[in-house]
Amino acid sequence: MSGDTTGGAARRTKPERKPIDRRAFLRTSLIGSVSAGLGGFALGALGFLWPRQGDGLFGEVALGDARELAERILGERRPVLVPEAAISIIAWDPSDGQASSAYGSQHAVVTDTAGLMCIDTGACPHLGCAVPWCQTSQWFECPCHGSRYNKYGEWTGGPAPRGLDRYVSFVDGEGQLVVDLSSPITGPARTANALEQAREGPSCIDA
Q: Where does this chain bind ligand FES (CB under 6 A)?
A: 124, 126-129, 142, 144-147, 158-160
CB of 146 to ligand FES, least distance (A): 6
CB of 159 to ligand FES, least distance (A): 5
CB of 198 to ligand FES, least distance (A): 20
Q: Report how far residue 120's alpha carbon sits from residue 138's, in angstroms, rounded to the nearest whole number.
A: 17
Bridge partners, 162 (sequence order): 189
CB of 144 to ligand FES, least distance (A): 4
Cβ closest to ligand FES, residue 73 vs residue 164: 164
- 86 in Cβ contact with 104 (< 8 Å): no
Cβ closest to ligand FES, residue 108 vs residue 124: 124
Cα separation values, 156 from 32, 138, 141, 149, Å? 25, 12, 10, 5
Q: How far is CA 171 from the centre of its chain?
A: 15
Cβ closest to ligand FES, residue 9 vs residue 127: 127
Q: Which ranges of the chain does DSSP label H, i.e. alpha helix?
A: 22-46, 66-76, 97-103
CB of 50 to ligand FES, least distance (A): 13
Nearest to 76 by CA among 21, 33, 121: 33
Cβ closest to ligand FES, residue 45 vs residue 74: 45
Q: Which amino acid is at 171?
A: V
- 84 in Cβ contact with 26 (< 8 Å): no
Cβ closest to ligand FES, residue 129 vs residue 168: 129
- 180 in Cβ contact with 168 (< 8 Å): yes
